[in-house]
A and B are shown apart, each in its own frame.
Chain A
Amino acid sequence: MASKQRILLGLALSIIAVYVIIAIAAPLLTPYSPMTSCGPPLQSPGPDHLLGTDDLGRDIAAELVYGTRFALVIGFAGAAIAVTISATVGIALGYTGGRTDEVCSRIIDVMMAIPQFPLLLVLTLFFTPGLFLIALIMGVLAGIHGIRLIRSQVLSTSQAPFIEGVRGLGAGDGYIMRHHILPALGPLLSVKFVSTAQHFMVIGVGLGFLGLVDPNVTDWGQMISRATQYGGFSLGLWWWLVPPGIAITVISIALGVLGTRTEEANNPRLTLARM
């Protein structure tokens, strides 16, 4: 790996680490609550409020800090759910095969034909969800979509000679799935996890932007949306508008770099097969 890329990867990892720390240590970083008014509205940045206050008098810096939690939980928890679903169902179907596999694959085919994004919109609207519910909905939807890829990968792996050999030695199916097939899928799953997390953060903040997230949750999307509506442009309150956008952009790019590197590390001859 060229040293330039190594630096880039290090940078990406440290950015992700900083975000995680901010999310965990949010109450220590700001004296204000992101939900309660703590001064006159629309204040300019000053010593009391580093980024001023919004139209309801809430501290913008506090909202920004607490918003990290939303993005990270959506991204990482959602991706974890998605990858777990794809992996377990994909391995089970690909490994057992036969009639069950056929029927389930057909069902999945039909479900994949339903447009994900509108379905996500409708579901979020239906549940007016908070943080964890959104992560769950997104995770389940994307998890179903990922099954097919994992299944085909398992199909090719489980035909490998060494699996035959292990089976010949008397290993049980469960053992083989856990100890041989799952590790073989490791690289694919880790790539999938990182790219899904990135995608979910962007979409999750987007849901907030469209006003679909529970207003009692602090998230960058709602901040951007409020800022554009209540003076971000017309009054030129850029300190309200710009920080949340930068925040989501930076973490998204960091995850993008990490994703590309994970992909290349696992498959050096790779030509970036993405769509």
Chain B
Amino acid sequence: MYWNYLVKRLAISIITFFIAACIIFLLLRTMPGDFVSNLVLSFGNTLPQETVEAFYRANGLDRPLHAQLVTFFSGAFTFNTGTSFLYGVPAGGLIADRIGWTLLLLIPAAVFSLFIGVLLGVWSSWKQGSGTDSSLLAFMMAVRAIPSYWWGTMAILFFAFLIPFFPLGGYTSLTVLDSGLSIQDVLWHAALPVVVLTLVGIPGTYYLMRNSMIHTLQEDYILFARARGLPETRVVRHAFRCALLPVITMSALQIAGLIMGSVFVETVFSWPGVGLLTTEALQNRDLPVLEAIFLLDTVAIIVANLVVDLSYPLLDPRVKRYGE
């Protein structure tokens, strides 16, 4: 039954989350030459011993490991992994503040890239083997090969520096100081990062869609539809409706993949989302924030996988077997 399958998949997801959380905890807090001593050392040996001890005590790092583990897990589900070393506020709250900014880029980029990728994929598969198809394939290969941070840098160089049309980065103009945050201004700043993130997301969807269409177009029912004399546009619609299902379900994973892209894109554009927070935390060795972000990404990927596995049997009438 579907319910059994659902419960089983949920249980596996939660276990996976726990194991991932354990691994990251052990890795960051117990490895020899541990992270925190390195951090403290990087402030220089000039730091008086009391300060170091105070730092340990303030962050609960002097307590025995099992006690730390308990605190860690009690906070793990709310991403409260401790107080940020850099900002002095809870890591969970920091992420909550920033996630909206990331979603502001991520959601439009995901929608656009999905739409464009599906469209081009269908077109390409329909013209399979033609010049259009192979040039689209070559184009996608190139788009994929160019790193996201370089797409971003080039976008700034051309459309913000050489042609000063878009802002160089950030999320608002300086006018914010006297007129307050304006929505238009924020969208204006979001335009380039969204375009870059969309571009980065297109090839994945395109390959998936093209592949799915090509497989579907070889099915018996497509031959039968043609044999009944249906016009080619109608035949492609038959194929499209079947081929779209796996692409839609897989798009959850695509979006989870875009989160990685957003680390680079937000850093390039100094966009104050979770991606930039990641870079800041990395550069400042902000342990609690890193742990929280790691947990967030883990959840995102686990949820994406869950959505794929759970929605597929619901959406696709052909799949009747649940579980392995």
Contacts and interface: CB of A to CB of B under 8 A. Distances in A.
A256 B145 contact: yes
Contacts of A125: 282, 285, 290
A196 to B, nearest CB: 14
A245 B145 contact: no
Contact of A198 (B145, B153, B301): B145
Interface string B21-33: 0011001100100
Interface stretch (A34-42, A83-91, A155-163, A203-211): A203-211
A110 B297 contact: no
B153 A245 contact: yes
A241 B153 contact: yes
Interface string A114-156: 1101110111011000000000000000000000000000000
Contacts, number: 124
A273 B285 CA distance: 39
Given A210-B263, A211-B282, A233-B157, A122 B149 contact: no
B263 to A, nearest CB: 7
A88 to B, nearest CB: 23
Interface string B140-169: 011011111110011011001100000010
Mostly helix, strand, loop or mixed at chain B's interface?
helix
Interface stretch (A21-29, A48-56, A168-176, A247-255): A247-255
- Size class of the A contact interface (CB-based, 8 Å): 35 or more
A264 to B, nearest CB: 11
Interface string B196-219: 000000001001101100110000
B23 to A, nearest CB: 7
A202 interface: yes
Contact of A241 (B157, B207, B208): B157
Contacts of A202: 145, 147
B35 interface: yes
B19 interface: yes
B267 to A, nearest CB: 7
28 contacts: A113-B305, A117-B260, A121-B263, A121-B290, A122-B24, A122-B290, A126-B35, A198-B145, A206-B264, A209-B267, A210-B263, A210-B283, A211-B279, A211-B283, A212-B282, A224-B153, A228-B156, A233-B161, A242-B157, A245-B154, A249-B147, A252-B147, A253-B146, A271-B210, A271-B215, A272-B137, A272-B210, A273-B211
